[in-house]
Amino acid sequence: MRTWIIGAALLALGGAAIAAGMLPVDDALQLWDRVWPILLFVAAITVVTELAAVAGVFTVLAQATARWGGGRAWLLWLLVAAVALLSTVFLSLDTTAVLLTPVAIVLARHAGLNPLPFALTTVWMANTGSMLLPVSNLTNLLAQHAMGDLTPVEFAGLVWAAALMAATIPMIVVFVVCRRSLLVRYRAGEAQRPQDVVLFRAAAVVLVVLVPLLVSGLPVWMPATAAALVLSAVFAVRQRSAVRFGLIPWRLMVFAGGLFLFIAALHAVGLGVLLARIAGEGESPLALLRLSFSGLLAANAVDNLPAYLALEPVTGSPIRVVALLIGVNVGPLITPWASLATLLWHQRLSALGVEMGWRRYILLGAIVAPVTVAAATLALAASA
């Protein structure tokens, strides 16, 4: 079923809960005050990244990466992993899954390499690399509020050890599993110039200005919205056909809005009491592991966003919020629906003719996810 249909159904159920008095109107209004900046940011950053892709920014970046690889597949793979990590940290995991995946696949094919290590790297780095900053993941933006509205620097200072561990272990696994494909040499093809140099330069400048603003402490929807408006104006003059309603991820926004409202309604009728018993309490390493693995299981069962919303009320402290983030950000590597980014990634692979069966994906994820979540949680406990 399409995500927007699920979202619309959840919105209807949430509306029914309000009408029946199960979810107080004041609680619903407080929820709206909390989530509208997040939804606006998601819409704006998606417009920015889509237009930047049309302008050729990511293609030029891929071509430069191929040159920097120096003919060594393992080095090219490491560069792709680094770009995927930076893209996830500063522009969100969905940007990496949707836009960087086809660039990585085209890059691998251009160099005559097996695309599977690059495909697996983009999806795993999109999920496990989304710990460091609030903008990296929608769950982080929600958590930022629950942690007392920390600045991006304060947020990173709390999660850095867990984020480092979460980004490292999956890449070790990719290298071990795909080492035969990576320990070869390649030839970089000829670089192609952007079709419209003005659009390319405009998009590149906007991104260069935007990235530091996203970590400046400003509400992230402000610079993202400004960047979207600037790029849309430039494209309206140079390539009007690119500016269309479809740039706005309205399906994702309906889905996210429905989840927000539905989980709030469930909490109003006692979901939190049940989850408190499952997730436990305390900040010892074992207590944090219990919470992070609760997040892992919930995310792979129903998707990481509702999993976070359901478990957030039982956290109670910033370090426990981070433990939950580890579970719902790093853990969704097993089931296809655990993360929306994973579904979007697989759609891009199918469109490019790359076969990655869900059975193989689930098997690898079932090995990597628990190990990575455990290591990241212990790193958090040690650094706290």
Tens-place pLDDT, residues 245-283: 888 888 878 887 887 788 788 877 777 677 777 888 889
Q: What percent of the chain has pLDDT over 70?
A: 97
Per-residue pLDDT band at 351 (split at 50, 70, 90): low
pLDDT for residue 356 is more than 80: no
Q: What is the pLDDT of residue 239?
A: 92
pLDDT for residue 122 is more than 70: yes
Q: Shortest CA distance to 339 belongs to which of 293, 381, 370, 307?
A: 307
Per-residue pLDDT band at 355 (split at 50, 70, 90): confident
Q: What is the pLDDT of residue 327?
A: 95
Structure tokens at 304: 């990481």
Q: What is the pLDDT of residue 43?
A: 86
- 22-36, 41-55, 193-207, 337-351: range with highest mean pLDDT: 193-207
Question: Partners of 185 in the beta sheet?
Answer: 72
Question: Partners of 72 in the beta sheet?
Answer: 185
Q: What is the pLDDT of residue 229?
A: 96
Span 228-251, mean pLDDT? 91
Residues 149-178: pLDDT tens digits? Answer: 888 899 999 999 999 999 999 999 999 999
Q: What is the pLDDT of residue 36?
A: 87
Sign of CA dihedral 145, 149, 151, 155: negative
Q: Which residues contact 308 (CB under 8 A, 6 or more apart)?
A: 139, 142, 143, 295, 299, 324, 325, 328
Q: Shortest CA distance to 257 belongs to which of 5, 10, 1?
A: 10
pLDDT for residue 347 is more than 80: no
Span 279-298, mean pLDDT? 91
pLDDT for residue 378 is more than 80: yes
Q: How far apart are CA 11 and CA 4, in angstroms?
A: 10
Q: Shortest CA distance to 133 belongs to which of 108, 112, 153?
A: 153
pLDDT for residue 325 is more than 90: yes
Q: What is the pLDDT of residue 1?
A: 52
Q: What is the pLDDT of residue 93?
A: 86
- 40-49, 55-64, 277-286, 313-322: range with highest mean pLDDT: 313-322
Within the chain, strands assigned E span: none
Q: How far apart are CA 164 and CA 160, in angstroms?
A: 6
Q: What is the pLDDT of residue 265?
A: 84
Tell me which of 120 and 343 has the higher pLDDT. Answer: 120
Span 83-99, mean pLDDT? 85
Span 71-98, mean pLDDT? 88
Span 346-371, mean pLDDT? 85
- 18-22, 242-246, 358-362, 372-376: range with highest mean pLDDT: 372-376
- How confident is the prediction for the chain on average, in pLDDT? 87
Q: Quote the pTM value.
A: 0.80
Span 297-316, mean pLDDT? 85
Q: Is 72 helix (H, G, I), strand (E, B) or coil?
A: strand
**Is residue 118 within 8 Å of 348, Cβ to Cβ?**
no
Q: How far apart are CA 361 and CA 305, in angstroms?
A: 21
pLDDT for residue 189 is more than 70: no
Q: Is 303 helix (H, G, I), strand (E, B) or coil?
A: coil
Span 127-132, mean pLDDT? 93
What are the Cα distances from residue 315, in Å, to 206, 220, 285?
Answer: 38, 24, 14
